[in-house]
Structures are given as structure tokens and as C-alpha cells.
């Protein structure tokens, strides 16, 4: 896929996190419709990478569809086990995800941190497991409203990112997603300027933890109430390389409009 020379040469990534929505039959209809919509709009020129993150039970079906219809979307899972195999009921190994042609896996989403008590160490172990199986971890970090009030916007995301990168070599391919917890699903997105400030600080943390080359190469996304009406503002920021989209990624017209942000006025 061709790359576009924006944001320091990093190809923008628009990622759709379906969370626990769409069964495997609904997934087929959705992916086909999204593909046709983008094709009709003559979008699929490779200037923006699209990735979708369906539930585990949809992955095989979606993989088969993407392959059969040559649909150029990256496939990702929403979580991965720290373990490779064995007596871990309910867990999914990175080895299984690689076999399904998953390229990405979301790690450390705030919903996992909150509802499954995932600590920074568990997140770091999952990042290590993902890399060991050739997957690109999409490492999610972000502050709660309480953190924001007490520590400002960057402190918690930077600490979470440093912890997540503890076993990561500088050469590794990772994606970072800055997702303020207060913005997720709330309809109240961060401003483009707030997102830029934290994403730039996170890039600086990558330089410190890994190296300058890794900081220049790594895509840093914004997530939290991204929609067609606000995506262009985020994408205008030099350190925002894409978006991790939840609710709006389940609506074909809205998500395709987000993907086509370059067509929006003023971009």
C-alpha cells in the first residue's frame, strides 16, 4: 500500500474498535457495505490505512471476507493473552491471532484496565506477547477526569506508556493511542489542541524510552468521541497520526466519512 508524506512520513491510520458489537453475520454485511461505500467514493488509494477490530468470534469470518474480496483493511483483535498456550480458560493466544492474519491488537484499552483490573505490568506483558507473535500492539493510554484534575493531561498517559514499553526494543513496530477516559463514549472529545499537546508529549516519551528514530516512525493516534465532524481538526495536528474510533466506527456513513477526512473542507 502506498504511503503518503504527511505527519513526518507516517501513514495515517484510522482504526475502528467495534468493542462488543456486531456478530459474525452482521460483520460481513458491515464490512462489505463499508468497502463499497469507500469504493464508490473512490477512496481506496492507500493514502490512509484502515483497520478494523471486531470481536474474537468474528475474526475468522472477516479474515475470509477481506481475503476473498481483496478488501484492503487491516485486521486486529481487541485483546491478547500474556500466555502462548496452556490451561488458561477463555484466553486467546497471539499465535492464534497471527494465524488469522491479524496485523494489530489493541492492548490496555481503558475498558480492560477498568473492568478487568489490567495493571501496567499486565499491559506490558501483553505488548511483549503481541510482538513475540508478530502482531503490532496498539497501546492505549489515557487519563480519567480525576487524573486530569489532579495531574494534568499528560502525566498518567506518559507513565502508562513508559510502563508499556518496558520490554520493547527500539526496532519494534508499535502504535500508541491517546484516549482520555473522560472522552470515550461521552460525546465530549478533547480539543484538537489538547490532543496535539499530549500526543507530542507521548512521542517525546517514545524517544526517551526507545530512540529518536522510533519516535519519528511510530504512529500516535487520538481516540475518544471521534466523529466525522471533528476528525479533520485532529488530523491537522502534526503529532496526531490517526484515530481510534469506537461508536462512530459502527456506522458505515460516519466511519467512511472519518476515513475520507482528507476530502473535508480545509484539510
Under the binding rule (CB under 6 A), the answer on residue 138 touching ligand PGA is no
Q: Out of 247, 257, 259, 260, which residue is the one contacting ligand PGA (CB under 6 A)?
A: 247
Under the binding rule (CB under 6 A), the answer on residue 230 touching ligand PGA is no
- What are residue 177's DSSP bridge partners? 140, 221
Pairing outcome for strands 136-141 and 175-178? parallel
From 118-126, 153-161, 243-251, 257-265, give the range in contact with ligand PGA by CB under 6 A.
243-251
Distances (CA, A) of 113 to 98, 116, 136, 153, 252: 24, 6, 19, 18, 28
Q: CA-CA distance, 218 to 241, in Å (whole number)? A: 9
Contact 90, 121 (CB under 8 A): no
In the shown chain, the binding pattern of residues 164 to 203 toward ligand PGA, with x for contact by CB under 6 A and - for none, equals ---------------x----xx------------------
257 CA to centre of own chain? 18
CB of 248 to ligand PGA, least distance (A): 6
Total chain residues near ligand PGA (CB under 6 A) = 13
Q: CA-CA distance, 160 to 123, in Å (whole number)? A: 9
From 36-44, 58-66, 124-132, 238-246, give the range in contact with ligand PGA by CB under 6 A.
238-246
CB of 222 to ligand PGA, least distance (A): 10
CB of 190 to ligand PGA, least distance (A): 11
Q: Which is nearer to ligand PGA, 201 or 249 (CB)?
A: 249
Q: Nearest to residue 107, comparing CAs of 135, 87, 70?
A: 135
Q: Which is nearer to ligand PGA, 79 or 179 (CB)?
A: 179
112 CA to centre of own chain? 14
13: helix, strand or coil: strand
Under the binding rule (CB under 6 A), the answer on residue 17 touching ligand PGA is yes
Q: CA-CA distance, 16 to 243, in Å (whole number)? A: 8
Please list the active-site residues.
Answer: 109, 179
Under the binding rule (CB under 6 A), the answer on residue 108 touching ligand PGA is no
Q: CA-CA distance, 157 to 198, in Å (whole number)? A: 8
Binding site for ligand PGA (CB under 6 A): 17, 179, 184-185, 223-226, 244-248
Amino acid at each position: 500500500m502506498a504511503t503518503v508524506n504527511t505527519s513526518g512520513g507516517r501513514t495515517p491510520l484510522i482504526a475502528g474498535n467495534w468493542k462488543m458489537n456486531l456478530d459474525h453475520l452482521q460483520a460481513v454485511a458491515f464490512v462489505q457495505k463499508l468497502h463499497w461505500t469507500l469504493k464508490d467514493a473512490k477512496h481506496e488509494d492507500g493514502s490512509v490505512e484502515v483497520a478494523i477490530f471486531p470481536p474474537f468470534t468474528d475474526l475468522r469470518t472477516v479474515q475470509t471476507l477481506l481475503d476473498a474480496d481483496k478488501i484492503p483493511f487491516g485486521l486486529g483483535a481487541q485483546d491478547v493473552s500474556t500466555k502462548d498456550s496452556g490451561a488458561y480458560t477463555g484466553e486467546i493466544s497471539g499465535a492464534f491471532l497471527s494465524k488469522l492474519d491479524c496485523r494489530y491488537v489493541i492492548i490496555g484499552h481503558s475498558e480492560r484496565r477498568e473492568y478487568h483490573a489490567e495493571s501496567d505490568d499486565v499491559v506490558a506483558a501483553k505488548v511483549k506477547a503481541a510482538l513475540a507473535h508478530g502482531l503490532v500492539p496498539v497501546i492505549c493510554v489515557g487519563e480519567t477526569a480525576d487524573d486530569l484534575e489532579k495531574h494534568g493531561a499528560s502525566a498518567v498517559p506518559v507513565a502508562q506508556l513508559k510502563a508499556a514499553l518496558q520490554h520493547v526494543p527500539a526496532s519494534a513496530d508499535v502504535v500508541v493511542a491517546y484516549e482520555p477516559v473522560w472522552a470515550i463514549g461521552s460525546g465530549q472529545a478533547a480539543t484538537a489542541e489538547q490532543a496535539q499537546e499530549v500526543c507530542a508529549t507521548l512521542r517525546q516519551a517514545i524517544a526517551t524510552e526507545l530512540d529518536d528514530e522510533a519516535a519519528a516512525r511510530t504512529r500516535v493516534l487520538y481516540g475518544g468521541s471521534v466523529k466525522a465532524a471533528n476528525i479533520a481538526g485532529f488530523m491537522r495536528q502534526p503529532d496526531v497520526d490517526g484515530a481510534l474510533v469506537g461508536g462512530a466506527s459502527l456506522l458505515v456513513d460516519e466511519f467512511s466519512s472519518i476515513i475520507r477526512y482528507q476530502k473535508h473542507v480545509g484539510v
